[in-house]
Structure 1
Amino acid sequence: MISNIIFDCDGVLIDSEILSFAVDEKMLPENGVTITAGDLAREFGGVTYGEMVAALNERFGTEIDPKRYQERCEAELSRTFETELRAIPGMRDLLTRLTVPIALASGSDLARLDQCLALTGLADFFDGRIFSAEQVARGKPAPDVFLFAAAQSGWQAAQCLVIEDSPSGIIAARAAGMRSVGFLGGAHRSLEDYGILRDAGAEYVAGNSDDLHNCLRDFGLVGPSRH
């Protein structure tokens, strides 16, 4: 029985991935890598900067320093977020209707999470249960951050449902022994990405927050429908 929900943040709660990968698309050519924001989203959504840079270095034969690259991207993103970051449409209303405890488990670092949740006004929904891959040994697709979130919250993994927008996050949830729902409501995703989330192991894929609301209602995790 599902009694708790663990949300990813970027691309699920906040529409940040479209902004983040646009910065990558702009900066990577300076380092010898040419790749579109869409391809980055499909391949590296949910993973850490270090893991993305390592994969790109291997593919393109480059020697990008992950720490320096992350610092540059984060500085640019911080400025962009101040004026452009928004919550995913309908997500605030959905969070108010949940009838079970929730947590957040993200590949982003805690400082970025604090900024993003403050800017979008979503922090209070999580009652301090905000966790980052920087607190564990391995990022997604390893299960570490989800298992850490559950353990710190006093929850059993088998009773947690994960909401994720990336294949790596879905794989991580499955490895943690948790059920998962894929989410395509971020601007970086489209219905064409349905298959990659189902193939990764998502039990259901929601196209937007209304669809997610209906799915969670069927699980018995939210109050009455808005419609």
Structure 2
Amino acid sequence: MIGNIIFDCDGVLIDSEILSFAVDERMLPEYGITLNATEIARSFGGVAYREMVAELNARFGVNIDPVAYQERCEAELARIFETDLEVVAGMPDLLENLSVPFALASGSDLARLDLCLGLTGLDGFFQNRIFSAEQVARGKPAPDVFLLAAETCRWSPESCLVIEDSPSGVIAAKAAGMRAVGFLGGAHRSERDGDGLLDAGAEYVAGNSSDLHYYLRDLGLIGVGQIRG
């Protein structure tokens, strides 16, 4: 029985992925790699920088330093986030109406999570229930960050439902022994991305926050208050 929810952050709670992948699209040609933002989103959505860079190095025969690349991207994104970052429509209302405990488990590092949650006003929802791939040995699609969240919160994996926008995140949730719902409410996602989430093991794909709200309500995880967004 589901008694707890674990949210991904980027592309689920905050509309950051479309900004992040645009930065990658601009920077990667400097390393001899040409990929557009859509290709990057499909290949690396939900994946931590270290795993992304390792795959790029192997795929393209280059030698990008993951720490230096992440530092460049994060510095550029920090400037962009100050003016352009938005919360995913309807998510604050959804969080306010949840009737079960919830946490956040992300591929982003803690400094970025602190910045983004503060800028969007979501930081108060999670308090000390924020977990990062920075804290574990392996990022998504490995299950480590979800298992860390469950262990720290003293939740059994079987009691957890994960909300994810990327196939790698869904795979990680399933590997942790958790159920997963796919989410397409971020600006970087389209309806055709739903098949990838289902193939990865999502039990349902919500097109936006209202759709997700209704689904969680049907599971008894959310109140019956007004649905907005």
Q: Same fold (TM over 0.5)?
A: yes
* Contact preservation (8 Å) 1:217, 1:225: no
Q: Distance in 1 between matches of 2:6 and 2:135?
A: 16
Secondary structure of 1:210's match? helix
* Deviation of the 1:119 alpha carbon: 0.2
Where does residue 186 of structure 2 map in the other structure?
A: 186
AA paired with 1:128?
N
Identity of aligned residues (%): 72
1:39 aligned to 2:70?
no
Q: Distance in 1 between matches of 2:226 and 2:165?
A: 23
- 1:46-70 deviation digits (Å, cap 9, x = unpaired): 1111111111111111111111111
Q: Distance in 2 between matches of 1:64 and 1:177?
A: 34
Aligned CA RMSD, in angstroms, stands at 0.7
Where does residue 167 of structure 1 map in the other structure?
A: 167
AA paired with 2:59?
R
Where does residue 158 of structure 1 map in the other structure?
A: 158
Decide which moves more: 49-58 or 185-194: 49-58
* Deviation of the 1:126 alpha carbon: 1.1
- 1:137-167 deviation digits (Å, cap 9, x = unpaired): 1100110000000000011110000000000
Pairing 1:124-143 to 2, within 5 Å after superposition: 124-143=124-143
AA paired with 2:64?
I
Instruction: Specify every segment of 5 or more residues in structure 2 that has no aligned partner in the other structure, as ranges.
Output: none
Between the two proteins, the alignment pairs up a number of residues equal to 227
Secondary structure of 1:15's match? coil
4+ long deviations beyond 3 Å: none
Instruction: Specify every segment of 5 or more residues in structure 1 that has no aligned partner in the other structure, as ranges.
Output: none
- 1:73-117 deviation digits (Å, cap 9, x = unpaired): 000000000000010000011110000000000000000000000
- 1:189-210 deviation digits (Å, cap 9, x = unpaired): 0001010000000000000000
* Deviation of the 1:225 alpha carbon: 5.0
Where does residue 147 of structure 2 map in the other structure?
A: 147
Secondary structure of 1:113's match? helix
Pairing 1:1-227 to 2, within 5 Å after superposition: 1-224=1-224, 226=226
Q: Distance in 2 between matches of 1:164 and 1:172?
A: 10
Q: Distance in 1 between matches of 2:147 and 2:61?
A: 34
* Superposition TM-score, scaled by structure 1 size: 0.99
